[in-house]
Structure 1
Amino acid sequence: MSTTEAIERGIGPAANRGYRAYVLALLMVVYTFNFIDRQILAILLPYIKAELNFTDGQLGLLGGPAFAIVYSTLALPIAWFADRVSRVSIVGVSLAVWSGFTAVCGFATGFWTLFGARMGVGVGEAGGVAPSYSLVADYFPKSQRARALAFYSFGVPIGTALGYLFGGLLAEHINWRIAFMIVGGVGVLLAPLLKFTVKDPVRGGFDRVASAEGTPEVNHVPTKAAGFTEVWGVLLKKPSFWFLAFGAACSSVYGYGAAFWLPSFFQRSLGMEGVDRALYIAGIAFIGGTVGIWLGGWLADKLGKGTKKAPYPLVPAVCFIIAVPMFFLAMNVQDKWLAFALFLIPQALSLAWLGPVVTAVQHLVPAHMRSTASASFLLINNLVGIGLGIYLLGAVSDYLTPRFAEEALRYSLYVGQWFYALAAILLIIAARSLRRDWVD
């Protein structure tokens, strides 16, 4: 689609503010379902473990590798396809697929049937995020992208919270199988709304239009989609991409691991059960997560104006450094409401990276490479973060159980916290080369 055609149809830069807000809100809702379906397993662990007698290591495999391997590897070819065809169609089909497989999880009869269904969820979700990043970047100008991507990323804490809440309530009052079926079915019904109400904008439209002063923001933005070789040829020359990707991946080792295992920690170490546990963890995920994501996006847009690009990785780096002792403190407070207040702080700090880092990745390549570059970033982040983090914490818990019994998971969570310190180091290194690698 040409820029002229896009303007005539009111897409991208020509779209009115209300329609752009609607698109962003709907994409955020889709991302919310992405995380509901991804994280609902965490709150259902005790119910599944009680019925099917799984170990923590097996549960870690279901939450991590079963999902992450196909999710991460398929995201790249799907994003390559999204750089060539309708991104909206790909996201819509992906939503229907992952939601359908979430419902199938409710029919599992053992470890391998549930493992296969979780792989199906990963197949569907592989096409959801990278094309959405690209859509958001083409609906909002550079000066607003970190905040727009931060708003889109609200799907992470909202989806996590709703997965905890609805999964816990449905499992407690009905059973865990019905929880999977209902949540998955609702997602399938949402797919047509996305497909038929969201228009695919011109790629790089905001990078083509004239600025307020009447001068082009860029001289030329290619319209032909780039191949893997071309995109990776660009990324290999940009050290900031690799430090951003592996920094985010290290943070995700503990971020995804904690999100998956904290509900079980609250049950085993704090004695929380059923609805109370679901409400408690949902509140932490929602309040802390939304505040942190918005704060990270706002600070990056405010501090990263003009030639100052270092704040995009430095803001989350500082947040990770503070999050480590705060998580430890929150886990060692006896009063559950004081612990709740303390958990909000590291929860917010641990998600502040989403808006700044994702925005930086969008600006390391030209517009016609964004979906593939985003998928490359997500390949590293999710394969390491989801694939390693969830399983690692479960395996360490199994290893420590003979010594610490029910408290083994606590010590496993202590071990995982140091990945945030490693993430901070890598992001600080990324800040040194980001300005040079940035594409204006």
Structure 2
Amino acid sequence: MALRFSPPLFQYLNCNSISGRRPRVGKGTSFVIVASGENATKLVTFIGKGGSGKTTAAALAAQYYAKEGLQTCLVIQSQDTTAEHLMGCKIGTSPCICAQNLSVIRLETTKMILEPLNRVKKADARINSTQGILEGVVGEELGILPGMDSIFAALEIEKLIDFLGVKKASSQQNFDVVVYDGNNTEETLRVIGAAERARRYLKYARNMAEKTDIGRLASPSILKLASETMPLSKSNDGSSDAKTSVQIWDNFEHVLMKASASFTDSSKFRCYLVIDPSRPTSLSSALRYWGCAIQAGTEISGVFAFSTADSSSISAVEDVKKKMSPLATAIIPNISPTTDSSLDWNMILQVLAVDAKELLNISTKNVQSLVQFDKSKKTVTLFLPGFDKSEIKLYQYRGGTELLVEAGDQRRVIHLPTGMQGKVSGAKFSERSLVVSLK
């Protein structure tokens, strides 16, 4: 394979002569968050093509965990009423009990924006950073801009699951399981990788703040307001423990590292694919999602396939199992809600297949290795299912200490361990994996 590198600090490898596959992202997503201990929390994501059954999978998971005796909350972030038909109850903007051990709530960004705005106003009143300008901003008048839904959903979910460990025991109801059904998979994948990517933006912002005149002038006030606003590392009097700019920067870095680690820890976070075997596009999208999720920095824990009992569907299911191997695939009978009758969840859960229960088991752990380093051969192997060879590019920065892998709309930075840092000498695609050789 011929390699062609551009200027020294920005070496570029176009893997057009590599063979392989890769996935693409569609619409819709669902989260399930499960607490398996006193403080431990598990977040599970359902992703797949729109119409493949993600909301149904979220409702099924919520009902299953509630039936197992876990305090469960189903969180919906869509105006679609499908979840209401599935659950058999009205879903409002505040938690309400739908069944034993099961609560439901609908997130609306226009309402979620009010609480952080009020928090900023209170912080500004203490430190007088904007000289009272913020008091003139009325939250109810603010509209929602693109991208705000995912940001506020992430903040609301963090309040429920407490990945960062900042929630007071008496401040909010504690759920063992929180099931989140979102409305856009691309945004969800970005949320998964957001903390790690935000660390890079933080590093650049910190350099600007410390090494430029405008940064040294403006950053202290901005940092102080941000630190006072965020409910992190607060002392008993409500003020921030981090008093200096260095402490505040370090505190933000620590928070982002902790959040990023939660998404890469299978004991806290899981990601499942949902497929409609009768639709070939659902399978091809799932393959693309698989690779995109890995690029975002997380593992796929298994596949849920909603299927009918006819022979064509059975054949399609076998095709799904083959193409999604080595992932475990659980077959779920098609669940179709109607507007005039409620689903019998007791019956549905009674006949739920053993393999589906095993996939939802909160005690099992993922064993996939997304990146493998071979120091003897000086190779890095990246598992990238579903990607096409022409869609993979490699970049190398900072003297060969890290690789940046671009696949589709996802970019991923891989830090090379000591002893393997060097320039890329070649790359090939084999067994759905990209093997990069270093020199």
Q: Does TM-score exceed 0.5, indicating one fold?
A: no
Bigger CA radius of gyration: 2
TM band (smaller chain): under 0.3
